[in-house]
Chains A and B, each alone.
Chain A
């Protein structure tokens, strides 16, 4: 008789993705006395250390029917060029990124410009969990349970004036903390921009966390934008400055290569990137590609923002 020994089974075969998640929750609950031992664990396990948010509400902007990607996938596969151009690098090189104290300056064409500390940002509105599809311009995608609230909440605080036609965003940059930054071939600090109506759209999320806890550095800690109907690079990370301006601001990738990355960069299966097709995408964890949806599936909500615009020209 043949008896298969348990040792023949690999761990991955017996640990479904959902359990990874539980294991992480378990880790988060380990008492502080254990913290010392946690330092000894592998880097990926250490990156699991996030602060759990106590009262996260459900949101109507959540996609209901999609399988969430694992924490492991979302935290080890990152485009964050300040921390290296290889997608596995930021999980390592951003480990000690200092995200406290932190503040975001909101300035420009507004009545009440000011700085917001991280504590103030966390208290401005109830935190919501929003499960969004996230589509990278490189034709891969993930589904992430973000935590945050609409950017409009923050912008309304400073009372934008009628001159505020656009919003310019800026990522923190410090070569000492981001020594790989200068090698990436992009000018930093990383900047991005939105039209005012895009920025005020309720889907435009100011995110402070994911998977119920604060953001890990490689995913843009401590506060970032998430724009689910646009390619990922529009969703700027580790935000330090928001400026309300009258004319179209510079956006890093758009400036680096205008024929490949447009200012709008709405997900559009009909407009190819010159080097690859945008008609389909690989959802991480899936084998076959799936078709890409117009506006990444958020057309019902955002298509009206672009009424009358030629999206082939304004890509």
Chain B
């Protein structure tokens, strides 16, 4: 079922749903009394959600016994980048109105912006090398190493969120817990795989 062309088209449409939701809210005047703040937060939240979805693919493949989920990982990751780009454009255009001086001061001076900026910049090389061609060119091992940067994006995204709330930390704590569990899962797998097992050579435990 996951293998069909339709599954991919459906997943693509589902990933676009937030944009349609935003457009609908704009059309029906439900962007609150401060639309720019609403759009900034909406796109920021969805960026973080898609980073979490991306990180969830590998564990879910194992847990659900659905290895074919891998077919969606690149698309989900690129959507994280897509929403991140919208988030950044909202900030640069609607919020700061291309005031580059002010933007750089923000990036350097305000820790929460520094964290968000880090999270975004680290997504750039991942988006750029997301094609099969790049996996071939770089070699699977090195490609995989590079793409572990998404862990840092997840952590920096959570810190960005945690630092921007005023007193109610429930939402950033929730995303922090999700990212934490997904990274701990990987740490646990890595530790288990490292244990020397001389008898059985667990060669090429492909992932």
Q: Please give the residue numbers on chain A whose beta carbons come within 8 Å of chain B beta carbons, in ascending order.
A: 12, 72-73, 76-77, 81, 85, 87-88, 140, 183-186, 256-257, 274-277, 282, 284-285, 287-289
Contact = CB atoms under 8 A, between A and B. Distances in A.
B176 to A, nearest CB: 15
B168 to A, nearest CB: 4
Contacts of B167: 81, 85, 184-186, 256-257
Interface in B81-102: 94, 97, 102
Nearest to A84: B168
B112 interface: yes
Contacts of B37: 140, 282
Contact of A275 (B32, B33, B102, B164): B164
B36 interface: yes
A183 B33 contact: no
Contact of B110 (A76, A81, A274): A274
A256 B166 CA distance: 10
B112 A184 contact: no
Interface in B148-169: 163-164, 166-169
B141 interface: no
12 contacts: A72-B33, A76-B32, A81-B168, A85-B167, A88-B32, A183-B170, A256-B167, A275-B110, A276-B110, A277-B106, A285-B33, A289-B97
Contact of A185 (B94, B106, B163, B168): B168
B100 to A, nearest CB: 14
Contacts of B206: none
Contacts of A185: 166-170
B33 A284 contact: yes
Nearest to B169: A185
Given A274-B110, A275-B163, A276-B110, A73 B33 contact: yes
A275 B159 CA distance: 13
B207 interface: no
Contacts of A257: 167
Nearest to B170: A183
B29 interface: yes
Interface of B: 29, 32-34, 36-37, 94, 97, 102, 105-106, 110-112, 163-164, 166-170
Contacts of B32: 76-77, 87-88
A287 B94 CA distance: 8
A85 B170 CA distance: 11
B102 A284 contact: no
Given A81-B168, A289-B97, 9 more contacts: A12-B29, A81-B167, A85-B167, A184-B167, A185-B167, A274-B111, A275-B112, A275-B163, A284-B33
A194 to B, nearest CB: 22
A76 B33 CA distance: 7
Contacts of B169: 185
B102 to A, nearest CB: 7
Contacts of A277: 102, 105-106
Contacts of A72: 33
B175 to A, nearest CB: 16
Contacts of A282: 34, 36-37
In the A-B complex, the 8 residue pairs with the smallest Cβ-Cβ separation, listed nearest first, are A185-B167, A77-B33, A85-B168, A73-B33, A185-B168, A284-B33, A186-B167, A184-B168
A183 B106 CA distance: 30
B97 A288 contact: yes
A137 to B, nearest CB: 9
Given A72-B33, A77-B34, A183 B97 contact: no
A192 to B, nearest CB: 15
Contacts of A274: 110-111
Interface centre among A140, A184, A275, A288 (most CB of B within 10 A): A275
A107 B32 CA distance: 40
A12 B29 CA distance: 8
A87 to B, nearest CB: 7
A256 B94 CA distance: 31
Interface centre among B32, B102, B111, B169 (most CB of A within 10 A): B32
Nearest to A69: B33
A71 B164 CA distance: 29
Contacts of A88: 32
A184 B36 CA distance: 23
A186 B105 CA distance: 30
Contacts of B166: 85, 185
B97 A140 contact: no
Nearest to B109: A272
Interface centre among B37, B110, B167 (most CB of A within 10 A): B167
Nearest to A85: B168
B42 to A, nearest CB: 13
Contacts of A140: 34, 37
A142 B29 CA distance: 19
